[in-house]
């Protein structure tokens, strides 16, 4: 797929990376949806794109600080 792109890790080392983002069902304890993302896509952007693409409407989101932004907070609190 050629998805690996230069990104950086917590030590700020730039290297080709691929990120996987999973959406899990708490009831079924299985993944409902996943995306493979290029290493140069920021987590805040990835979360927003994944939520829109998946169509998920009622969920609990658990992620590290890389996923937090005011924009994502507004999206997650938005009632559809």
Contacts of 5-14 with CB under 8 Å at 24 or more apart are: 5/38, 5/39, 5/40, 5/41, 6/39, 6/40, 7/38, 7/39, 7/40, 7/41
The per-residue pLDDT string of the chain (80 residues; one tens digit each, 9 = 90 and over) reads: 457 767 666 677 777 777 788 888 878 888 888 888 877 777 788 888 888 888 877 777 777 777 788 888 888 777 54
If 0-12 CB within 10 Å is exposed, 13-18 middle and 19+ buried, where does residue 69 land?
A: middle
């Amino acid at each position: 797929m050629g998805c690996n792109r230069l990104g950086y890790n917590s030590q700020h080392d730039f290297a080709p990376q691929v990120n996987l983002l999973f959406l899990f069902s708490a009831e079924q304890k299985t993944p409902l949806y996943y995306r493979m993302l290029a290493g140069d896509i920021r987590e805040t952007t990835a979360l927003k794109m994944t939520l829109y693409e998946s169509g998920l409407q009622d969920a609990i989101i658990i992620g590290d600080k890389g996923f937090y932004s005011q924009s994502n907070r507004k999206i997650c609190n938005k009632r559809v």
